[in-house]
Structure 1
Amino acid sequence: MEAIILAGGFGTRLKSVVRDMPKPMAVIAGKPFLTYLLDQLDRQGCTHAILAVGYKKEVIQNFFGPKYRGISLTYSVEEKPLLTGGALKKALEVATEDAVLVLNGDTFFGVDFSKMLDFHHKTHSDATLAVKKLYDFSRYGTVLFNGNLRITQFIEKKVCQEGFINGGVYILNRTIFDGINQEKFMMEKDFLEKYVDLKAFYAFPSNGYFIDIGIPEDYEKANKEFGKFTLKK
């Protein structure tokens, strides 16, 4: 299993609680948040992770070095901001597996990665998105899919009583951006929404634990929850 972690975020909305460090290095219950993501990968058999770094990249590189537990680490460095899509495109250039797991560096989602990979291969998907059902939310857009779990539409953020959100865990074919000449683009807006009718995107529903530390309220929630129990996935 090979993975990419998007770890180049500025953490703009967390400035009040996290200063002068990349968002994935925000300390949660005594450890950088990125540590929990790498632990999750290690437990599930990942042996190589590519960290897509940019802002204050040396903080991450100096802390983790070339290896973390059973995972060898490679750094894909953005010399200028490439946004999420551009960062992924660059990182995939050094990937070696045909299908690569992707994690957002500010989100933890307790997904069974092996089952997700099996699903990705069985559906011949170009991109598989782990989705989570939420209730009474407005912070996230929603993902619509048919009875075969093929994604049909992405809906913009709005007040929603219930729906499936993009949980920030993907499996991408290594060649998915072949023919895309843009260097800087957003994964969600400029790629997923644009190509939903042209490529095979599938949803992988999971009821695993989910938290996004991107705003101060959820950063504090993560501190409490990660401190009081051990996550199973």
Structure 2
Amino acid sequence: MIKEAIILAGGLGTRLRSVVADMPKCMAPVNGIPFIAFIVDDLVKQGVERFIFSLGYKSETIIDFAESSYQHLDKVYVVENKQLGTGGAIKEASKTVHGQNVLVLNGDTLFSIDLEELSDIHTKQNAECTLALKPMTNFSRYGSVITNSNARVTAFNEKQFCESGLINGGVYALNCSSFLQHQFPGIFSFEKEYLEKYLHTHHFYGIAFDDYFIDIGIPEDYERAQKELKEK
């Protein structure tokens, strides 16, 4: 299993400002606990041993929390001086990875998949990137992802209403060595300028996991998290 994880926690959280004070999205309290704690705890439980926190806005609040609550974790902080986009953030964080592969997760999304299964499929397929996909019905907030019978990703569809489909769950197994060989700009989108751009020339796979999923990026789902994560 892949033992290192990058947690993307540099977002501004502007859509949550109406319900949460001025803080990074991942630090939004859920029943008094910063949301990022649910992600870290799940990773630790599944055997992740090294954490790379990709930070930006109010990074000191996340660092203070990690240092006080996870003193014994092997952790690294990569702080952006300016917004680099998801791709730029992952690129800079990937430079600190020790192994060939790393898990990448969004700090505002909890997707409780089997990380060992994702890791195994990723390495067996010799994939450059393997996406954890969430089956969903009646959705329009997310774009959908299409895979073929061999689990190769064949298309990324724009956001539109879908009765059923697979969405990008924001959890990836990434081959850092291959990823860093690309000539990326300093600021870029991982989704648009990496996944979509190289879709037909690189080995990208998508695996469906029908596990618990919550994205607290909008107030409605943040409020839903208060109830659901309390029950969990």
TM over 0.5: yes
User: Is 1:177 aligned with 2:180?
Assistant: yes
Q: Distance in 2 between matches of 1:136 and 1:177?
A: 37
Structure 2 residues not aligned, in runs of 5+: none
Q: TM-score normalized by structure 2?
A: 0.96
User: Is 1:168 aligned with 2:170?
Assistant: yes
What aligned pairs does 1:21-60 form with structure 2 within 5 A after superposition?
Answer: 21-60=23-62
Paired-residue identity, %: 48
Q: CA deviation at 1:67?
A: 7.4
CA RMSD of aligned residues (A): 1.2
Q: Pick closer, same or farther for the CA change 1:69–1:116 going to 2, 3 Å.
A: farther
Give the match for residue 89 of structure 1.
Answer: 91
Q: CA deviation at 1:64?
A: 1.0
Q: Which moved more, 1:170-179 or 1:60-69?
A: 60-69
User: Is 1:214 aligned with 2:217?
Assistant: yes
Q: CA deviation at 1:63?
A: 1.3
Give 3-state SS (helix, strand or coil) of 1:41's partner: helix
Q: Deviations over 1:25-55 (max 9, x none)?
A: 0001210000000000100011101000000
Is the 8 Å Cα contact of residues 5 and 51 (structure 1) preserved in structure 2?
yes
Structure 1 residues not aligned, in runs of 5+: none
User: Is 1:63 aligned with 2:60?
Assistant: no
Is the 8 Å Cα contact of residues 144 and 151 (structure 1) preserved in structure 2?
yes
What aligned pairs does 1:1-233 form with structure 2 within 5 A after superposition?
Answer: 1-65=3-67, 68=70, 71-175=73-177, 176-227=179-230, 229-230=231-232
Counting matched residue pairs gives 229
Q: TM-score normalized by structure 1?
A: 0.96
Structure 2 residue identity aligned to 1:110 = S
Q: Which moved more, 1:57-66 or 1:186-195?
A: 57-66
